[in-house]
Amino acid sequence: MGERSIDTTNSEHRVIPAGLAGRAGALSAAIMLAVQLIWRLNWSKNGVVQAFPELIAAAIARLTPLSVFGAATENYGSLAKRTLFVCVLIGVIAVGRWAGRTAGQISNAIGPGWKSRFGSALVVTAFLWLATNLLVLPIAYLGPFARTSSYTGEIFWQLLLTFLLFALVWSLLTAPDPEEDPMPNYGETLSRRSMIRRSTTSALPIATAIALGGSTWRLLAPKTASTATPLIVTGTSTSGTATVEAITVKEIIATQRANQGYDLNASPEVEPEPTPTSDKSSSRPEPRKSAQLDSDSAPDSTPENPFELYDGLEEEGRLTPLLTETADFYHVSKNFSDPRVSAEGWSLMITGMVNSPLLFTHDQLVERATTRKITTLGCISNELNGDLIGTAEWIGVPLADLLTEAGVQEGVFDLVLHAADDYEDSIPIANALDPDTMVVIGMNGTLLPDDHGFPARLIVPGIFGMKNVKWLDRIELVDHDFMGYWQTRGWADDAPYQSWGRIDYPTGRIAPGPTWASGVASAGDRDVVRVEVSIDGGESWSDAQIEPSINPPLTWVRWAHQFEAVDGADFNLVMRVTDGNGTLMDETLRSPLPVGATGWPRRYITVRA
């Protein structure tokens, strides 16, 4: 018998099996995702321009009913985001499998060859690319072809090139092996080229899984690097950084208490410019004395140190710190991975209905940042007894000063606030001209960290945190009511703080004996003048003691109330707040959507020896 020859041309005429086409599509989609995430982590401008799966996740989040979205965010926090992201990856790979099978059917109908496979893949890829640009991006608040984004070009080319990559990889993966015989002679030895091809094909899924998994992990659980650069607020700075030792939260508190007239024999090692009391407090009476059964919150009252009780409860872990350490300050954003904006090349633009548009570099804002204000900031998603709230000393420039310099024209209604991550919101002109509203570049004595808005953010007392825009890069004055990112989802537009409270202690089971109930209360920029506590579910009430506010009316207050915890008893502990306008906290229990949570916070306590 003569030597058997292999007709390699037959391999080109065989159809692409549906299973092979689908597997190639799924693997091609996984490779595309891995490349997108590697680009996102290493070359995305300022870490802002999102990858394809993030855009899909953003669109899904905006389509999710508010009640479901709010419950997921409140109960699961970042876990909800990460779960959604992983589900999107799986979904994209599943769509890739469908796309591969569809491309295979088209290629089989056209005929054999590289051009047929690549052309078929391009047809399917073009359909998916257009669907992304015309459907996904508008839902994700970026407009068709990302036209409303600040990064239209980057998003366009990222999607175009990676979708083309999908088509190319699928075409290569479905190419027939020229040495593969439909009727193989198992006595023959595979050529080196065929062995390399098959080894590569086997190793590619493993390498792709490692690259995709590693990139996903890095994106969703990034290493947090400290950006706490010490900052001075007097004199000038040519580099935007400071040369003095950073002050601590305790030193900020001691300085402010001394500025308020409390002689506590505490002199901080570093003496920064004292935080001024808010202008609003001077126009108000001091009702806190009459709001309590005693007058321990007044500077001249007994005991000599009106803070001793609260500091002691804090040391015992039973009361929230008066000022929130930057590392412990709550963090909420729409992003899976937040921007890392460089001060170099960044600027803040004030434009729109102004006489003279202005542009400020980061160094210029640092040089002008001579104002310190201690303010409480809270998220509209915060529940009663929740922890999406904190108090910090903010360092910056009053927005009113910048607007005066620009010259506000007649007829301005809103200020549109644009962020580096394409987030947008707005505040009314009246809030913008409030002397307590600031463009902030520092927090607790240091430059803003990345996750709190570096290089600059807005602090607007009296309005929930979603309007205190981070990574601020443009302020536009307009003559109409602008609805921002969250307002188009149904959240409140004016978004004033609700009166709010938290019972820090006790919770759950406690030992019998004299017990201090303690916690915090806030009312935005309206001050807190009274906190009442009930241990019988609201049948009877007692006034709690209130620690003097560190910057009334812009900050929360700490409160404490002593009661006898009787062995074997069960207590329904409830608190309620009266604000500086004399308005009692709304008793109606409502979830945060869409105007912020309302109701009287409560804890159920069991006393057992």
Rg (CA), the chain: 30
d(CA 253, CA 558): 14
pLDDT at 45: 82
**What share of the chain in percent tops pLDDT 90?**
71
Candidate from 1-15, 301-315, 488-502 with smallest mean pLDDT = 1-15
Which residue has better confidence, 273 or 471?
471
d(CA 174, CA 21): 6
**Peptide bond connecting 496 to the previous residue in cis, omega within 30 degrees of 0:** no
Q: Residue 570: is its pLDDT beyond 60? A: yes
163-209 pLDDT, tens digit per residue, is 999 999 999 999 886 555 444 444 445 455 555 556 666 789 999 99
Q: What DSSP string describes 296-307? A: TTSTTSSSS-TT
d(CA 57, CA 569): 49
Q: List the one residue out of 528, 529, 530, 521 whose CA is nearest residue 503.
A: 521
pLDDT at 249: 92
pLDDT at 567: 94
Q: Residue 43: is its pLDDT beyond 80? A: yes
Q: List the one residue out of 65, 56, 202 whose CA is nearest residue 139.
A: 56
88-100 pLDDT, tens digit per residue, is 999 999 999 999 9
Q: Residue 341: is its pLDDT beyond 50? A: yes
Name the helix (H) or strand (E) containing 529. Answer: strand 528-534
Domain with CATH 2.60.40.650 in the chain: 500-607
Candidate from 166-175, 269-278, 470-479 with smallest mean pLDDT = 269-278
585-595 pLDDT, tens digit per residue, is 999 999 898 99
CATH fold of 500-607 reads Immunoglobulin-like (2.60.40)
In DSSP terms, 517 is beta-bridged to 561
Band (pLDDT 50/70/90 cuts) for residue 295 is: very low
Which residue has better confidence, 79 or 196?
79
Q: Residue 243: is its pLDDT beyond 60? A: no
Band (pLDDT 50/70/90 cuts) for residue 68 is: confident
Average pLDDT on 480-496 reads: 93
Q: List the one residue out of 276, 31, 310, 337 whose CA is nearest residue 162.
A: 31
Q: Are 176 and 11 in contact (CB under 8 A)?
A: yes
The single-letter code of the amino acid at 418 is H
d(CA 33, CA 39): 10
pLDDT at 222: 73
Residue given tokens 């009661």 in the structure block:
563
d(CA 234, CA 366): 10
Domain with CATH 3.90.420.10 in the chain: 249-299+320-489
* Strands of the 358-361 sheet, one edge to the other: 358-361, 347-352, 472-478, 414-419, 424-428
Tokens of 368: 């002008």
Could you tell me how many residues make up the chain? Answer: 609
Q: List the one residue out of 463, 451, 568 whose CA is nearest residue 513.
A: 568
Tokens of 588: 């109606």
Superfamily of domain 249-299+320-489: Oxidoreductase, molybdopterin-binding domain (3.90.420.10)
Main-chain phi, psi angles of 156, to 5 degrees: -60, -50
**What share of the chain in percent tops pLDDT 70?**
82
